[in-house]
Amino acid sequence: MLTLLWGLPDEEPLAAVACALAEIGGSYFVLDQRRVLETEVTVEAADGLHGTLRTSDRQITLDSVRSYYVRPYDTRRVPDVMRAGIGSSPWQHALAVEDALLAWLEMTSARVVNRPSTMLPNGSKPYQLEDIQRFGFRVPETLVTTNPEEAEYFWRMRCEVIYKSISGVRSRVARMTHEHKERLADICNCPTQFQAYVPGTDFRVHVIGDDLFACEIQSGADDYRYAASQSRPPTIFATILPLEVRDRCVRMTSTMNLLVAGIDLRRTPEGEWYCFEVNPSPAFTYYESQTGQPIAAAIARLLVT
């Protein structure tokens, strides 16, 4: 039976999973998002659920696909679609293909890593933080406001504060400095998220079904993900989490109906465990390349069982 991979074939996580599937003899097909204008998808929900996918060289009955690994980017940014322009026929075709596939992925009984609806809560950081608390993790004190005085008070009471986007867009973390003080008035225009800075050591945990891969990150940057581009590359190595923390990660992932997740944790000098985010579409290859942890292989196994 077939596994369908949807996204950009040369994007590292997708390519790594395809490679891992090939290594274990799993049958797979990569649906190249760049070729969306040559792709047609039909989904019918009368007299049962049926779907068909056609590309220029292949036709696949979606009903017979065993599993899906999906990492689609914004279809509107596919070069051919952008060139055609907003509202053009190719533009509308591309959106229709995306819409039909997303609908199918939501409804199919096949294994989907991860189902679109389970990924969406990550698009609201304060919502996900509320959810995370239920699993026994500490979360950073967070204020979202359009009130500059409120933000300034929050900052004053906590000494060190970071700000980050509320949605998944431009999700970069930065520490508040006195230069920001002059710009605080701008937050009247849009709710802005501030968090108490939590000192400690970062951990990235990948949960793949029942498997768990943890790594520790040593970095002096506010957001270690961007430290490499600031010529301060972090040091990353595989580690083992305390059993209780490990169980929380697995339970949280499962309760959020995710089959794969990348969890951002921080252990404070006092030994408290904070959780910042559960990423439903983790770019795991960065960590895999640093630690040698067989994450892609674990995802491939999940997709064929």
207 Cβ contact list (under 8 Å, min separation 6): 249, 250, 253, 258, 260, 261, 263
Q: Are 5 and 16 in contact (CB under 8 A)?
A: no
Where does this chain touch other proteins (CB under 8 A) — which range of 9-17, 159-167, 233-241, 282-290? 159-167
Where does this chain touch other proteins (CB under 8 A) — which range of 7-15, 54-62, 97-105, 233-241? 97-105
- Regarding 142 and contact with other proteins (CB under 8 A), the answer is yes
* CA-based torsion, 241, 244, 245, 246: positive or negative: positive
Q: Binding mask 14-53 vs other proteins (x if CB under 8 A, - otherwise)?
A: -----------------------------xxxxxxx----
Where does this chain touch other proteins (CB under 8 A) — which range of 55-63, 184-192, 206-214, 220-228? 184-192
Tally of CA atoms within 13 A in the half-sphere of 118 that contains its CB: 23
| Backbone torsion region of residue 185, taken as left when φ is above 0, otherwise alpha when ψ lies between -120 and 50, otherwise beta | alpha
Select 47 or 182, whichever has its Cβ closest to other proteins. Answer: 47
Distance CA 73, CA 96 (A): 15
Among 34, 37, 38, 147, binds other proteins (CB under 8 A): 147
Among 111, 125, 204, 248, binds other proteins (CB under 8 A): 125
Among 9, 90, 121, 234, binds other proteins (CB under 8 A): 121
- Measured in residues, the chain has a length of 305
Please report how close the Cβ of residue 257 comes to other proteins at its closest, in angstroms: 11
181 Cβ contact list (under 8 Å, min separation 6): 152
Distances (CA, A) of 31 to 34, 185, 262, 297: 9, 46, 24, 20
Q: Which residues of the chain form contacts with other proteins (CB under 8 A)? A: 43-49, 99-100, 102-103, 106-107, 117, 120-121, 123-127, 129-130, 133, 139, 141-148, 150, 165-170, 188-192
